[in-house]
Amino acid sequence: MNAYITKDIVNLFDQISSDINGFYFGRFDIKANSVIDIINGDFKIIELNGIGSVPLHLYEPHNSLQYCYRLYKEHYDMALQIANTNKIEQKIRPMKPGVLLKTVFNTYLNFSTYYS
């Protein structure tokens, strides 16, 4: 699919992304009838995955393990760069470890209750 990415498509998704406060990096899952429909802007956004999403082309069977490791590293290097930029420009302070652990624990409880 990467062969079909054009400047117009990139600009379209940049425009959509710019309307989402706090969104700097992620993956749009879209539905369309054809590549031509996507090029013409005739598609639906099914889901927006944020910084925790992985690049789906990682799972293509022809990719080597070394390539996949490099892709993961690039992905999380970009995430770290965005976090550092936000920290400096917006004076965002990191979460205290106790608050982070409590948030993770509560999220786990909510998921385990919902999916049990």
State the pLDDT at residue 111.
Answer: 79
46, two tokens: 């099914």
Q: Which residues constitute the domain of residue 30?
A: 1-53
pLDDT at 27 over 70: yes
Q: Which of these three, 53, 68, 88, is where a domain ends?
A: 53
Q: Does residue 38 sit in the same domain as residue 14?
A: yes
Please check whether residues 114 and 61 belong to one and the same domain: yes
Q: What is the pTM of this model?
A: 0.64
Pairing of strands 27-31, 44-49: antiparallel
Q: Which two tokens stand for residue 92?
A: 């965002």
Residue-wise pLDDT for 60-102, tens only, equals 999 999 999 999 999 999 989 988 898 888 887 888 999 989 9
Residue type, 40: N
Q: Given this model, what pLDDT does residue 61 score?
A: 92
- Structure tokens given for 80: 């770290």
Rounded to 10 degrees, what is the CA torsion of 69, 10, 27, 47? -160
Nearest-angstrom CA–CA distance, 86 and 71: 23
Q: What is the pLDDT of residue 114?
A: 67
Continuous H helices in the chain: 7-18, 35-39, 65-89, 97-115
Backbone angles phi, psi at 29, to 5 degrees: -100, 120
In this prediction, residue 1 has a pLDDT band, given cuts at 50, 70 and 90, of low
Give residue 26's identity as a one-letter amino acid code.
G
| Mean pLDDT (whole number) for 36-51 | 90
66 and 36 in one domain? no
